[in-house]
Chain A
């Protein structure tokens, strides 16, 4: 059993067996993270470059730790705040990567499809660490790993993703992954932040937290990006908090214990109240731990497959 593609570009189109393989492998790597020496040799001699065209702390550190714990050599390339236009520079970067004989590339880019473009022009394995509002597959995988630990299954779990669905790559990857694994998925947020044709993904749509909370097992609360307010998609942070902030008061509508997730970083008391973020139902820090294990699994599975000559993805 191995992954069909040499790259991890998104969860769209990935099979249940492939996702299960990644999650099972991640479980084994979690044990490695608990050892006194948290390092194993499978990617010895491999060079991985982390290409971050968009700022990120958690994801970049998580990838870097995962890479180093698999004994790979790591190079970081960060272009924070630079206004690199997509096409040309990315192509140039790709040429440079080829020239430097890099084995794997982890890329985050503000343009959807940037990793796909890269995967067509370089020989290295490409891993998508977030491309615009498109996908963020490793985040969804670590979310699913955390849920599988908590509930022992993903089938028939009801997960509601709360917040800015339109601009969220986390939401999209979670929807693809969870639907493939047989979970029930809903979204909840202001009408201005939910895509019009979202039903075609097979998810339930709610505009009211009180209505959805009694039905769910999990709330995955997305970070509300403050710049969205400037573009007039919601009136104020206080109003957003009043209607869509997950708070203790709103949790009183729950009929069973609900697991609360957040991809981070949290705007405390905006999308999620501070007491809930630190409370017993929050699995925010487990998500971070599992992030390293999931990324090790993906790097290991992609990095140790033999490249068959003339294989075209």
Chain B
């Protein structure tokens, strides 16, 4: 198993900083913007983006969390059940610009699930996708609006995003592991 660090704490901070600026530029401010993070890593990322937006624009941006387990398309094929966590979207998304946040964009299936889940909460004006890492290998016609870093990978590699809130450090790793099953 070979583990290569492709982004360190400083790089991750700069990426988040730039992503926040891009969100502001694209939406001409944050007046109508809400952030929704996909559990688990997208959750912490969403809060960091929101904090950065607040610092830059001096306005509070609502943050919600989405658990997509119930919307997965591989729910019936897994031998080990994913643990169901709570969704917390305590604001109205009707008429808002929702910035959907996840750590890694891979096959696009997580995002498909998240879009379906979001639609059950209302009709946002627009949904934009923000990811820290785009590693390619899409299986659905989905692309991100904001990308922290493009990392070309092979299919059997694993991209691991560590966030200090739960992993004790900020970093992004690419892991070569022939034995390990593909993780999306």
| Stretch in A32-40, A92-100, A188-196, A241-249 touching the partner | A32-40
**In contact, A304 and B121 (Cβ under 8 angstroms):** no
Q: Is A265 an interface residue (CB 8 A)?
A: no
Docked complex Cα distance between A301 and B69 (Å): 12
**In contact, B120 and A37 (Cβ under 8 angstroms):** yes
Cβ proximity bits B71-102 to A, threshold 8 Å, 1 near / 0 not: 10001111111011111100000000000000
**In contact, A300 and B84 (Cβ under 8 angstroms):** yes
Total number of B residues with any Cβ neighbor in A under 8 Å = 21
Q: Is B122 an interface residue (CB 8 A)?
A: yes
Contacting B116 at CB < 8 Å: which of A31, A41, A305?
A41
**In contact, A1 and B121 (Cβ under 8 angstroms):** no
Question: Given A37-B120, A306-B78, does the pair A42, B83 have CB atoms closer than 8 Å?
Answer: no
Question: Given A1-B83, A31-B86, A305-B81, does the pair A42, B120 have CB atoms closer than 8 Å?
Answer: no
Q: Is A28 an interface residue (CB 8 A)?
A: yes
Docked complex Cα distance between A29 and B84 (Å): 9
Cβ proximity bits A279-313 to B, threshold 8 Å, 1 near / 0 not: 00000000000000000000011001110100000
Docked complex Cα distance between A36 and B71 (Å): 17
Contacting B81 at CB < 8 Å: which of A1, A28, A29, A32?
A1
Docked complex Cα distance between A309 and B117 (Å): 32
**In contact, B84 and A25 (Cβ under 8 angstroms):** yes
Q: Smallest CB-CB separation from A3: which chain B residue?
A: B81
Task: Return A104 CB to nearest CB of chain B, in Å.
Answer: 13
**In contact, B84 and A2 (Cβ under 8 angstroms):** no
Docked complex Cα distance between A289 and B83 (Å): 22
Most chain B beta-carbon neighbours within 10 Å: one of A25, A32, A304, A308: A304
Residues of A within 8 A of B85 (CB): 28
Docked complex Cα distance between A36 and B85 (Å): 19
**In contact, B76 and A306 (Cβ under 8 angstroms):** yes
Task: Return B22 CB to nearest CB of chain A, in Å.
Answer: 31
Docked complex Cα distance between A80 and B161 (Å): 57
Contacting A301 at CB < 8 Å: which of B67, B79, B81, B86?
B81
Docked complex Cα distance between A301 and B78 (Å): 12
Docked complex Cα distance between A25 and B78 (Å): 17
Main DSSP-derived SS at the A contact region:
loop
Q: Smallest CB-CB separation from B116: which chain A residue?
A: A41
**In contact, B81 and A41 (Cβ under 8 angstroms):** no
Docked complex Cα distance between A308 and B78 (Å): 11
Task: Return B122 CB to nearest CB of chain A, in Å.
Answer: 7
Q: Is A68 an interface residue (CB 8 A)?
A: no
**In contact, A2 and B71 (Cβ under 8 angstroms):** no
Question: Given A31-B88, A41-B71, A41-B116, does the pair A2, B81 have CB atoms closer than 8 Å?
Answer: yes
Contacting A40 at CB < 8 Å: which of B71, B78, B80?
B71
Docked complex Cα distance between A2 and B76 (Å): 13
Task: Return A71 CB to nearest CB of chain B, in Å.
Answer: 9
Q: Is A27 an interface residue (CB 8 A)?
A: yes
Residues of A within 8 A of B142 (CB): none
**In contact, B87 and A31 (Cβ under 8 angstroms):** yes
Residues of B within 8 A of A42 (CB): 69-71, 75
Docked complex Cα distance between A2 and B75 (Å): 13
Docked complex Cα distance between A43 and B79 (Å): 16
Task: Return A73 CB to nearest CB of chain B, in Å.
Answer: 15
Task: Return A301 CB to nearest CB of chain B, in Å.
Answer: 7
Residues of A within 8 A of B122 (CB): 36
Question: Given A28-B67, A28-B85, does the pair A37, B121 have CB atoms closer than 8 Å?
Answer: yes
Task: Return A121 CB to nearest CB of chain B, in Å.
Answer: 24
Residues of B within 8 A of A27 (CB): 86
A interface residues, Cβ below 8 angstroms from B = 1-2, 24-25, 27-29, 31-32, 35-37, 39-42, 300-301, 304-306, 308
B interface residues, Cβ below 8 angstroms from A = 67, 69-71, 75-81, 83-88, 116, 120-122
Can you sample 14 A-B contacts with CB below 8 Å? A1-B81, A1-B83, A2-B80, A28-B67, A28-B84, A29-B84, A31-B88, A37-B121, A40-B70, A41-B116, A42-B75, A300-B70, A306-B77, A306-B78
Having A39-B120, A40-B71, A300-B70, one finds 19 other A-B pairs with CB under 8 Å, namely A1-B80, A2-B80, A2-B81, A25-B84, A27-B86, A28-B85, A28-B87, A31-B86, A36-B122, A40-B120, A41-B70, A41-B116, A42-B75, A304-B81, A305-B81, A306-B76, A306-B77, A306-B79, A308-B79
Q: Which 8 A-B pairs have the closest CB atoms?
A: A40-B70, A2-B81, A37-B120, A28-B84, A42-B70, A28-B86, A25-B84, A304-B75
